[in-house]
Amino acid sequence: MTEKIKCTACDNIILLSTAEEYRGLCAVCAKRIGKVRKYRKPVERFSTADGYSSYIDFRNSIVIPESSGGQNYIHMLSDMDGFRTLAAYEIRLFGDAKFFSERIERAVMMGLSILNDYDAGKGVDPSFVTMTSFHWGLDALAAGNIELSKEYLSKIGIRPKEEKRNDSKFISAIGHAVKEIVTSGSLTMKTRAELSVRLSGKSVVGYRTIIDGIDTRNPDKIERGVTEVLIGHKFLVRPNGTFFGTPDEIVCFWAIGLINFAKNLGMVFSVPDSEILPSSLIIGRKNRP
């Protein structure tokens, strides 16, 4: 008798041989998840007519169900990642801020449901609920939704056991800094010290400068930080860099999120023109929806 097991993502019954081939997934789930993860190409890839057609095929291939309930958390994370990828390409290719915001907000809402399910004991993997997900708070800010960002960030950084097991010191430092600056408007001395130590390299120091500028309400420091971010970005997108192979290569979600939060506080500063900082996403610009 042929042995069968459940797919780890959708709970469908599959052959053991299939599970071994796709690392515990059914063929449908493996294709769906892999399609998003492997489709990481520079936006210039779609600048030609053939490239545009390829992109449209990719966009149409991601058919997200209206509900991702149950315990299909791998699917949910894949859907969130897919929304983020689509948002990045749409804003770079077509400047569609409305599409960007809608997809990002939907992804963050899905992330909130994962956090809530974990707290309800519904079998979410502990690695899904640590500070590694802090970027969703910045993504919500990049989408112009300040309250959604605060709601999401308030639900992470509260699980020290899970964080210690899964988070790097860099992620812990920037994640807690983002949470504190967005939810309370200022940094604790401990977080400020950790930020200074963990974000000292030229590739990431700009984020420390921006956060410090918000903390001290210093617009000049934020401007300097944005310039440092643009310089450091080229290091982050190199192979093995933090942003390599992610939508952050073509849209600087982290910086846009922090810029929008500072703008929402009423701080006045200039933002340099840059392809990775689309002007239509910056709060206060005329074409911001």
Q: pLDDT of the chain along its 289 residues, tens only?
A: 566 666 555 556 766 554 444 445 566 655 544 433 333 444 555 544 455 555 566 666 554 444 444 457 877 888 888 889 889 988 988 889 999 999 999 999 999 999 999 999 988 889 999 999 999 999 999 999 999 999 999 999 999 999 999 999 999 999 999 999 999 999 999 999 999 999 999 999 999 999 999 999 999 999 999 999 999 999 999 888 899 888 999 999 999 999 999 999 999 999 998 999 999 999 864 334 4
One-character DSSP codes across 11-37: --EEEHHHHHHTTT--HHHHHHHHHHH
Query: Full-prediction pTM beyond 0.95?
Result: no
Query: Distance between CA atoms of 225 and 144, rounded to whole angstroms?
Result: 20
Per the document, the length of the chain is 289
- What 43-46 contacts at long range (C-beta under 8 Å, 24+ apart), as own/partner pairs, is 43/88, 43/89, 43/92, 43/93, 43/250, 46/89, 46/93
Q: Domain ranges in the chain?
A: 1-37, 39-281
